[in-house]
Structure 1
Amino acid sequence: MKSKIFSALLLTVAVGVALSFALSEQQTKPWPVPEKYQKMKNPVKYDKTAAATLWTKHCKSCHGKAGKGDGPKAAQLDTPSGDFTTQTFKKQSDGALFYKSWIGRDDMPNYEKKIPDEDDIWQLVHYMREF
């Protein structure tokens, strides 16, 4: 009887440790934004059609149609692609969103060459604010 209790306890501890490692992998690490970008305001007038076209071409496959991070490529990523509908996301400055979208990190690609026009990145910032 004692060995069954000990085995069950050991199994419970092992599962708990494994789950804690799995959950810690899913949490995103801090993404520092240079001070230069932190207080930037979006300087371009919103063109929803242009922004939607850019979103579909460059963002939707990972971030999903509604910005929930559930696009068809999201499951293949090592880094969660983020849920843009959360308050944490919405509290970020325009400049922070611009920086993260343009420069990228980890699985998020750098778009300086793919989208060289900064105004297009600002259009995407407008679009992300719609979620």
Structure 2
Amino acid sequence: MKTKKIFLNVTLLGFIYFLTVGFIKSPQTDYTPIEQGKWVAPASADKITNPLKGDIASIVSGQKTYKMLCLVCHGPKGKGDGMAGAGLTPKPADLTSSTFQSQSDGAIFWKIEQGRSPMPSYKTSIPEKKRWEIINYLRTLK
């Protein structure tokens, strides 16, 4: 009986708090989002060579990994139109664009490894071989 009374009191206090906070008007701020500049890998990244270049099996494996990890933001065809990407700033890259495709494999590898908000770093969560496989698949999106 005592536990029930305590629970009701806590619930009532929580409800009152919610109502109070919900009706307090937050101060207006003049917020302007900060644009991120062009994402350029360092020149040293261009020297990183793809050990799996031309490996057909790696493309198939890379496509599977892409579907699991990248599709949600970059979209099914790599256009940057994935469901999760809609709310991101900056928007996910169009992986089919000439700007993206003109990068070296090493530059793309570096970007996947390093990440840049809102894209996380995949250095520790995707093994190196899988990252190269993803890049080989991305090359088929031209």
How far 1:90 sits from its partner (Å)?
Answer: 1.1
Q: In the alignment, is residue 118 of structure 1 matched against residue 121 of structure 2?
A: no
How far 1:84 sits from its partner (Å)?
Answer: 1.2
Cα deviation, 1:23-51, whole Å, max 9, x if unaligned, reads x94xx512232232113331113422211
Q: What is the rounded CA distance, in whole Å, between the counterparts of 2:101 and 2:63 in structure 1? A: 19
2:114 equivalent in structure 1: 103
Ranges in structure 1 where 5+ consecutive residues have no aligned partner: 1-20
TM-score by length of 2: 0.68
Write out aligned runs for 1:38-117 (5 A).
38-44=46-52, 45-46=55-56, 47-115=58-126, 117=127
Paired residue secondary structure (2:81)? coil
Cα deviation, 1:46-79, whole Å, max 9, x if unaligned, reads 4222111110111000001100000110111111
How far 1:87 sits from its partner (Å)?
Answer: 1.0
Aligned residues: 107
Ranges in structure 2 where 5+ consecutive residues have no aligned partner: 1-31
Q: What is the rounded CA distance, in whole Å, between the counterparts of 2:47 and 2:68 in structure 1? A: 28
Q: Aligned residues: percent identity?
A: 36
The runs of at least 4 aligned residues of structure 1 exceeding 2 Å deviation read none
TM-score by length of 1: 0.73
Cα deviation, 1:87-125, whole Å, max 9, x if unaligned, reads 11111000001111121001011111211x211101111
Q: In the alignment, is residue 34 of structure 1 matched against residue 42 of structure 2?
A: yes
Paired residue secondary structure (1:68)? coil
Which AA in structure 2 matches 1:63?
Answer: H
Point out the structure with max Rg over C-alpha: 2
- What RMSD, in angstroms, separates the aligned Cα atoms of the two structures? 1.9
